[in-house]
Amino acid sequence: MSNNIVWHNHKVTREERAAPKKQHPCLLWFTGLSGSGKSTIANALDVALYQRGYHTFLLDGDNVRHGLNRDLGFSDEDRVENIRRIGEVSKLFADAGLIVLSAFISPFTSDRRMVRSLLPDGEFIEVFMDTPIKTCEDRDPKGLYKKARAGQIKDFTGIDSPYEAPEHPEVILDTSSQTIEECVEQLLEYLIERKLILERQD
């Protein structure tokens, strides 16, 4: 970083940006194997929050690799940089007062810890999609496990690249035994309990 760069403080604080939205900014970080349900649950929660009048933004792994991270591959080094960039973007959205939902395999504990360190205490919510790999592989929605098993894809998480499961996630979900509705309800209850959103009036 250049020595000529100076941080510029904004006149409007993140709390002031969030206040009209009647929500507390936070980042729900969905992590888990490919096919574990990260994007499905994040999208369903996004809809549920939107329908309740909350202001959110969803960042999805594949979508981001079409633009911001289109120059990155899937080596360990590129995975680290992928998560670093997403962490910084997620922080900016949270600073804007939004509830951010980020769905990324993010296989390394150190990377998720780095993103957590970017946000104030209590605003990083690690959502571990603890769906068994057999279920993920049976689903194989993108056909990636089949290609990985055939050696057509290298560095595939869960096959020839490791996934470091969270030790103390805020929320644990398993889409092999929970429905989409049950997962969303569990997440909403967590957000309400932590006073990140208001108690529902319906």
- 202/194 Cα distance (integer angstroms): 19
User: Cα–chain-centroid distance for residue 31?
Assistant: 6
Helix or strand run (H / E) with residue 172: strand 171-173
Is 2 among the catalytic positions? no
Q: Which one from 36, 106, 176, 177 is the annotated catalytic residue?
A: 106
142: tokens are 């993108």
- 154/73 Cα distance (integer angstroms): 11
- 109/65 Cα distance (integer angstroms): 21
Query: Which residue's entry shows tokens 């208001």?
Result: 198
- 1/75 Cα distance (integer angstroms): 24
Strands (DSSP E) found in 38-157:
56-60, 99-103, 124-129
Active site residues: 106
